[in-house]
Amino acid sequence: MARSALLNVMVQAAMKAGRSLSRDFGEVQNLQVSMKGPGDYVSQADRKAEDIIFTELSKARPGYAFLMEERGTVGGDDDQHRWLVDPLDGTTNFLHGIPIFSVSIALERQGQIVAGVIYNPAMDELYTAERGGGAFMNDRRLRVAARTKLSDTVIGCGVPHLGRGHHGNFLVELRNVMAEVSGIRRLGSAALDLAYVAAGRMDGFWEGGLSPWDIAAGLLMVREAGGYVSDAKGGQDMLEQGTVVAGNETIHRALLATVKKPLQTR
């Protein structure tokens, strides 16, 4: 596949950060870890990867602003462009030696996500997308799964944990979805969950309590693979609301209705 110069910059930054994470992943037991909040860890590896991405993207596009997990908002002279960066999505997996984590970089232009990169260095899987140009994994074109019955599907989700999310609301959603689908998966990286939907590995995905950098690249990935994404209310305020529901057109509609309905007692 032919990549634009801008997407190449993003790929290079993600892969350079990924190589750094891979080295630290091999030494995971020796990492120094500090607590950012209940159940929310941040490691030296996380900060180092973010520094690499910040340096690479700033060098290539000096005026662009940033929204990053660790640094937060970094202003720029160009108010039309903003990078949304998660240097290590799946930190808890990483720290436990589970090879399901990713680097996620998205570019927002005038409020629209126009390019995205998600890279899992442990599996050497590189997901890329540009608005209007399709979605790819290691240069293979991606399409969302074609299943149309919830009963045939495998659906991904996020599970609230210590200090995060409304556990009671999630249990209602989970019970409703469990009753309708073939299987439910929880990967631990929202960016990869959305990439897996784009690749047809999972038929749909829903989660709440997310940050913009968790999902920005993945939202574009699903759309460019022919899928549908919305917030939990069916609108398009995913980055603001921190909720997402994704799938092909039919599964997205059915999953959204299932997640929204009240608990059915049986």
Annotated binding site for Mg(2+): 69, 86, 88-89, 214
121: tokens are 């260095």
Q: Residues annotated in the binding site, as ranges?
A: 69, 86, 88-89, 214
Phi, psi of 140 (to 5 degrees): -95, 130
Q: Which residues contact 168 (CB under 8 A, 6 or more apart)?
A: none
Phi, psi of 190 (to 5 degrees): -60, -35
Q: How many helices and strands in the chain, by DSSP H and E?
A: 8, 15
CB count within 10 Å of CB 99 equals 13
Q: How far apart are CA 111 and CA 25, in angstroms?
A: 35
Q: How far apart are CA 101 and CA 122, in angstroms?
A: 8
